[in-house]
Amino acid sequence: MRAYLMMGLSLILAGLLSACGGGDGESGIQPADLPLAKTRFTVTVDLPAGLMTAQQRNSWQLISKAYAATTTLTQDNFAIIFLNAQGKAMGQGEITNFQQTDGNYIIEARSPLLLQGVLVLNLEEPPQFSIGDELPTNLLMTPLTDTEIALSLKTTLAYRALIKRVVRDGNWGIFIETVSEPANIDVRDAGDFINELADELAVTLIPKLGLNGVSLSNLMSLTVVNDILEGIMTRKYTELTAQKDQIQTVFNAGFWRLRSQRSLTGSTLEADMMDFNSPDTATNETRQIDWRWHKNGDSEISLAEEFRYLSEQGLVQFDQKENAIQGKILTSGGWKDLYDYFQVLISSSSTAIMTDAGLAESDSRNITMRVNSYPLSGQRMHDFLTTKENHFMTRYVPDDATFAEGSTGYYFTWNPETTRMLLCSTDVNGDECSVSPRDNPGVPYTTLEDLVSVAGSGSIEQVNGYHLTDNVVLEFVFNNTHQVNYWVNIGGDDWVVVEDGLWSPVTTQGIQMFQFTVPDVIKQLANHYPFDTPYLFLVVDQGAVHQGQAVLKDSDFHFAGFNNAAKEQIYAVASRDNLPPFGDCDFGDTTPATEDQFLNAVTECGGDETFTTDSVNALADQHLVQISTELGELEAVILRSDKTWDYYLNTVLQPGSDNREWALDELGFLRLTEDRHNTFSDYALWAVTHKKYDARPLWAIKTFSQTDLGGANQTEISHLMTKEYAPDTLVACTTSDSGWNSSTQMPATARTKTEFDNQSTSCIVSWEGRTPRFTQNMLAGMALTFAGDSSRHLVLNPQADTQAGFNTGRYTDADGCGFDIPIRWKLEADGTLYYENAMAQSEIDAVFSNGAKRFPTGDFQEWIKVSDTDGLKLTIKGFNHFTRWESASPALSTTQGEMWSDIVTLIPAASAPSVSVQSPTDAPQPGSPFPGTVLRDGLSCNLTPPPTTP
């Protein structure tokens, strides 16, 4: 104890130095005199394979140094730093011995166990820091609160959340006594706090982050990281300093627990109310009502009652709730079903005795409940919506929203009066807790003996065990000591035995079990440790081996709640209107890139939308149209129900549809693979960041693409907008069309070029800065076919015309006698297609030589502008003018002509049918030589062959 007191005194003196003349690098602060006591720390380093600690890097390397560093770390990569009373660097501890063993590092240092002592790591170079400054954001860290410690991303985030709070407050707050007089038990309790915080961050924050190819400093700059770190610490501080309250009063008034979730099945917000001695009943009844908002399109948040539990009416109503059974509990009568509902048996002012809804009082599996409360008025709502259960809700609540008067938060503490052996439900979702061989996860063990090995394995490939989590495997060995080996996937690349322990075969109430304890260091290393306690067991139930947990008698467990006023205030401001505005988000757009960087970009840009199983299936056969804002390039993707997909470029189907494959992954990303038979195939990931609901929905998408360039992959993060069109629903915009007068062979209503310019612009369907238009790449070498007359084609060759600025082309009709007229064409600046006859006046008169009753002779001009597109077809607005109309009766001016509309499809120019021009056999029908209105399809043939092209 003397050594600890000396250290405490040194730290206090250093804190006074900081307060008097230090801070932010001032030279007045000197390292404290350290005691001579040495401590031997066993350190396991477990970091994401691609995470970097370099603050500056000129370019991202495809093969990251990070994992190599975790297996070849030297003493120079580590440092021990002591923090002062304000949470800033005060001095450096001496590492007196350093060894590397399989999966661990043994570090001896001149330091006792300390909350304010921190082991830091830089993967690429010796850690750099300045006395008097905050710890740099490029250092991984964990406090020296135990002799066996794990250094991981979640411990780094948890400890940084604490020291950020210390720096903000200028003191260690709830841990002042732990820092000033660091007794072992208090320091270990503080370590437990950090570990619990790390476990919570592993659920609420880390799944939202991409890590591969990302530097730790950049990670710490993300909005979501800073919001959750600040919020979770504010909530923890408040809960731990809450004042004891009368639980009977709280229960009678009722309290609320909020939950939220997002998965491949969709998003929900929940509010569950529980009360006791309900005022609307004559008996002491426990009542629980579950309210839900299931996201449905763009519907606003509105809670609806989904389920009601009334204790006096037994379990009848549970039949109405899907998956009501949450697990099983071992009683004297064997395994009994557990429900996620409680019944209050008796309550006093300070405590309540409760039991699970599925149990009777005679089962002796009661729970004692207490409550502390804290005022919420003026507190930021986001800070109290950071729990595992409700952190998804923050997206709907304004960042600066605070609680008003009358709002209260509750911190409930419950402990069982007897040890509870809890088992996952083996009837509903039983696969979640079944135990299978490591190398055959689809087939559960059927007997406990199947798990046991005669001797320990030398490598993970020979392990006869099972996955506790995806990165922890348990191996049970019968070697006279009943050893259990804890294999951990360190750094995502190598399995090593980090810890070992003991397992024991026991019989509890006539049921055979294997019981064991999970060491703290394994809990710290585990990804998403699935239990509340380290005390686990294995048991055979329903013909398979399952794992469960033992909740020990008198062990404290906690959960948070709100009074009705706080719940009402939260939902009063919760709205989809609080989501980021719909639009392009270029955050994270870069090349080269990694999928993990992509996840960060999606997290930063995301609203409440994600691809779900139902939403993706509903997209089958829909046209997902994209228009480039810079080049006007037109793309379309069509997902087919057989998991293939079509790709159209400028309305033309690209080959390879049978080999393309799409799939929805567990993160809600749509994966579009170019060649499912080629492991190096190009692919793209699509993630929804927003969706605008309309008759034709608009999707804002973040994309990650990989292109195989001869073995060298090019990767890029970008964004796009895609508009959803149902097939065969494209309709031309016919507003202000001229119509055709067959008796005069002229437009029924003359329109001017100015009217066309205005009306064609009005007809354009633009969205989010994307405007459909013709482009040179789209038209050159293609032919337009017209819905109004499928026999006619406007062939647009890429060859230059004799007249500068034009290309050559032909206007043909393969019906009847046919015609084939040479034209010249070009694109105007706004994407309007302009073409005119490339024949002399006499030549065109010869082609259309049947006088006023047949066709209008003379030079002609035509303008065509795109109005809309479904990615396969285009609606167009057109305007034409014939010089003959200038001398007709009634005469049209040079600016007047016909306005018309149609739907066109593009085909390769070579696919346009050849035209054999013949003499007519029947009298020609009225009509116009150009496509457009229904009256434009009366042409049967030409009276004379067309001349050769000039």
pLDDT of residue 378: 97
Tally Cβ neighbours within 10 Å of residue 722.
24
Rounded distance, CA 97 to CA 109, Å?
7
Q: Report pLDDT digits (tens) over 249-264.
A: 999 999 999 998 888 7
Helix (H), strand (E) counts: the chain = 15, 49
Rounded distance, CA 465 to CA 537, Å?
14
Q: Report pLDDT digits (tens) over 108-162.
A: 999 999 999 999 999 889 999 999 999 999 999 999 999 999 999 999 999 999 9
pLDDT of residue 9: 33
Q: Report pLDDT digits (tens) over 217-226.
A: 888 888 889 8
pLDDT surpassing 70 at residue 75: yes
Distances in Å between the Cα of 282 and the Cα atoms of 276, 286, 815 are 12, 12, 88
pLDDT surpassing 50 at residue 12: no
DSSP symbols for 171-223: S-GGGHHHHHS--HHHHHHHHHHHHHHHHHHHHHTGGG---TT-BHHHHHTSH
* Stretch (H or E) spanning 777: helix 776-779
Q: Which two tokens stand for residue 909?
A: 């120019």
Contact at 8 Å (CB) between 588 and 642?
no
Nearest to 685 by CA among 697, 667, 710, 658: 667
Stronger pLDDT, 861 or 454, i.e. the higher one = 861
Taking residues 318-340, report their average pLDDT: 76
The residues, ordered by sequence, that sit 6+ positions from 714 with a Cβ below 8 Å of its Cβ are 591, 592, 706, 707
Rounded distance, CA 568 to CA 577, Å?
18
Question: Under DSSP, is residue 526 helix (H, G, I), strand (E, B) or coil?
Answer: coil
Rounded distance, CA 577 to CA 708, Å?
41
Contact at 8 Å (CB) between 114 and 163?
no
Rounded distance, CA 532 to CA 538, Å?
16
Rounded distance, CA 774 to CA 841, Å?
29
pLDDT of residue 749: 95
Q: Report pLDDT digits (tens) over 765-804.
A: 999 999 999 999 999 999 999 998 888 899 999 999 888 9
Contact at 8 Å (CB) between 113 and 7?
no
The residues, ordered by sequence, that sit 6+ positions from 249 with a Cβ below 8 Å of its Cβ are 349
Burial of 901 (0-12, 13-18, 19+ CB in 10 A): buried
Backbone angles phi, psi at 347, to 5 degrees: -140, 145
DSSP symbols for 901-942: EEEEEEEEGGGSPP------SSPPPS--SS--SGGG----B-
Rounded distance, CA 361 to CA 381, Å?
39
The residues, ordered by sequence, that sit 6+ positions from 5 with a Cβ below 8 Å of its Cβ are 181
Which residue(s) pair with 632 in the sheet? Answer: none
Nearest to 941 by CA among 910, 917, 911: 917
pLDDT of residue 430: 47
pLDDT surpassing 50 at residue 913: yes
Peptide bond into 890 cis (omega under 30): yes
Looking at the whole model, is its pTM more than 0.75? yes
